[in-house]
């Protein structure tokens, strides 16, 4: 029985700000329990909901030498769907109103504390992992500390580490002097072949240098991050570690995202009944959002964080022109003020065609996935992307830019061979995006049978976690031997 420990800054159902939490909540459940004992470590944030805090039980506490003082570390545990979770408790570090704060130096101090506390707690839990699987920059110091001060202790010898990059843009950077002071790591670690990058200390880089294996969340993104454009300054290092780097596409929870059993839908449907039922969801949503009610109008959904990464400048550039077509556009999400206001403006200008919902509601998101005909994701970069996987599951045809996970999961439509599960364009170009949307419109309006076959193929895709879990298991086996 191999023992695997996940270490992450968030995870469903305890705390979630983004896709990382879905991975940490879903993947451990899908790894084969006969061969692997998977447990998860995360911080106990004060802002967690009371009902999840109520599940936690005290295990132990100790004091740890950290940042020039003796720091309290509490350890709690909870079991959720057969998986044991551990939580590091510190009122000083985790008492914010949100999991992540706005002071970058304090964030580095907080997650360096978390990384060291996790390793220090292991002997007290009588759990000696074969592999510690770290997620994103917040856990980047785990592989570093493991090789630096813990290897001298018999308990830690032979433990392997994996670093998974969910989004390379976020790296945990600050000036060397401050980070050295906080972490207690010696000068040896702050050179350009270790934690130092472009005169700053970089926690993610430390994890990538010291981990025994590196993964990211799609095969294409694994290739992209070795290039200048996508590499965020770390492409040289990732290229040097190409043999230890693999891309494993994320999955989605097929129980949670299931149009046949989805509680948010008025009219549930499946791969057989979608022709009759999906359209009823559409007209109900049109009425709910104050759009012109017409079952025949093509409806395009956008559910997204409203940020540069998501290609929203392309949409802003083409929105007036797109609104001349016979389409409706439904937007759900929050983010940068200029994009929030851009969508509000078009909602005001084209009230019966555009619905801007500048807030996030899970139920509304589920209804949009179920009701729309197409789903637009013109991302500048997209490590994996979960929205297109959910859209496929709901028979809502993705229109995407060929980057990262979007390229790996959406097969472009080929009308001559009647193949494909969506529409895609190559270059980050607004006119190319509009041409792609209009091609989709043409198939939707003029070739209804072809459109329905697209839906058949989309709903037949399998992007459940079980397929990805097998690839992670292979990697653990390869590491531990």
pLDDT tens digits for range 161-208: 999 999 999 999 999 999 999 999 999 999 999 999 999 999 999 999
- For residue 89, give the nearest of 61, 115, 47 by alpha carbon: 61
- For residue 73, give the nearest of 55, 60, 86 by alpha carbon: 60
* pLDDT reading at 426 higher than 90: yes
CA 91 vs. chain centroid, Å, equals 27
Residue where the block lists tokens 């430390």: 206
Residue count of the chain: 481
Contact 205, 237 (CB under 8 A): yes
pLDDT value of position 151: 85
Contact 370, 332 (CB under 8 A): no
* pLDDT reading at 17 higher than 90: no
Average pLDDT over residues 347-358: 96
**Percent above pLDDT 90 for the chain:** 96
The CA-based dihedral angle spanning residues 341, 346, 352, 357, taken in that order and rounded to the nearest 10 degrees = -30
* pLDDT reading at 424 higher than 90: yes
pLDDT value of position 118: 98
CA 213 vs. chain centroid, Å, equals 20
Please provide residue 299's backbone torsions phi and psi, each rounded to the nearest 5 degrees.
Answer: -110, 130
Structural domains present in the chain: 2-251+466-480 (3.40.50.2000), 274-461 (3.40.50.2000)
Apex CA 61: angle with CA 56 and CA 64, to 5°?
Answer: 135
pLDDT grade for 481, boundaries at 50, 70 and 90 = confident
pLDDT tens, 320-350? Answer: 999 999 999 999 999 999 999 999 999 999 9
Residue where the block lists tokens 């992007």: 463
* pLDDT reading at 19 higher than 90: no
Task: Report helix angle 430-446 to 312-322, nearest 10.
Answer: 50
pLDDT value of position 430: 98
Token pair listed for 431 = 């006119």
pLDDT tens, 220-276? Answer: 999 999 999 999 999 999 999 999 999 999 999 898 899 999 999 999 999 999 999
CA-to-CA distance for 379 and 368, rounded, in angstroms?
19
Q: Which residues pair with 131 in a beta bridge?
A: 4, 160
Contact 258, 270 (CB under 8 A): no
pLDDT value of position 119: 98
pTM of the shown model: 0.92
């Amino acid at each position: 029985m191999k023992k695997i420990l996940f270490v992450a800054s968030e995870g469903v159902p305890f705390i979630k700000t983004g896709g990382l939490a879905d991975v940490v909540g879903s993947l451990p459940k899908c790894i084969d329990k006969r061969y692997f004992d998977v447990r998860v470590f995360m911080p106990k944030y004060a802002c967690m909901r009371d009902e999840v805090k109520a599940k936690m039980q005290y295990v132990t506490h100790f004091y740890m030498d950290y940042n020039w003082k003796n720091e309290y570390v509490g350890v709690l545990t909870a079991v959720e769907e057969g998986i044991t979770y551990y939580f590091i408790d510190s009122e000083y570090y985790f008492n914010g109103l949100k999991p992540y704060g706005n002071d970058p130096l304090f964030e580095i101090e907080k997650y360096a504390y978390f990384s060291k506390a996790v390793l220090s707690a292991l002997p007290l839990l009588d759990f000696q992992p074969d592999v510690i699987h770290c997620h994103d920059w917040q856990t980047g110091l785990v592989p570093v500390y493991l090789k630096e001060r813990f290897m001298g202790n018999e308990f830690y010898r032979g433990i392997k580490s994996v670093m998974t990059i969910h989004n390379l843009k976020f790296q945990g950077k600050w000036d060397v002097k401050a980070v050295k002071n906080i972490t207690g790591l010696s000068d040896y670690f702050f050179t350009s072949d270790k934690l130092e990058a472009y005169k700053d200390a970089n926690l993610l880089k430390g994890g990538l240098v010291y981990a025994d294996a590196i993964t990211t969340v799609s095969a294409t993104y694994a290739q992209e991050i070795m290039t200048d454009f996508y590499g965020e300054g770390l492409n040289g290092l990732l290229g040097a570690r190409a043999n230890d780097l693999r891309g494993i596409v994320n999955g989605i929870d097929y129980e949670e995202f299931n149009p046949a059993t989805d509680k948010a839908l008025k009219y549930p449907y499946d791969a057989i009944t979608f022709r009759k039922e999906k359209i009823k969801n559409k007209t109900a949503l049109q009425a709910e959002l104050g759009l012109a009610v017409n079952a025949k109008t093509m409806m395009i959904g956008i559910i997204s964080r409203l940020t540069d990464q998501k290609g929203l400048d392309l949409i802003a550039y083409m929105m007036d022109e797109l609104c001349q077509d016979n389409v409706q556009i439904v937007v759900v999400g929050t983010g940068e003020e200029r994009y929030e206001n851009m969508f509000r403006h078009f909602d005001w200008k084209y009230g019966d065609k555009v619905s801007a919902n500048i807030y996030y509601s899970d139920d509304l998101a589920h209804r949009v996935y179920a009701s729309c005909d197409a789903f637009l994701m013109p991302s500048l970069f997209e490590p994996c992307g979960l929205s297109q996987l959910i859209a496929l599951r709901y028979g809502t045809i993705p229109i995407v830019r060929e980057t990262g996970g979007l390229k790996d999961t959406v097969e472009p439509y080929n009308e001559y061979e009647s193949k494909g599960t969506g529409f895609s364009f190559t270059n980050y170009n607004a006119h190319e995006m509009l041409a792609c949307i209009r091609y989709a419109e043409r198939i939707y309006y003029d070739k209804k049978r072809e459109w329905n076959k697209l839906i058949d193929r989309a709903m037949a895709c399998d992007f459940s976690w079980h397929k990805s879990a097998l690839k992670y298991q292979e990697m653990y086996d390869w590491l531990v031997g």
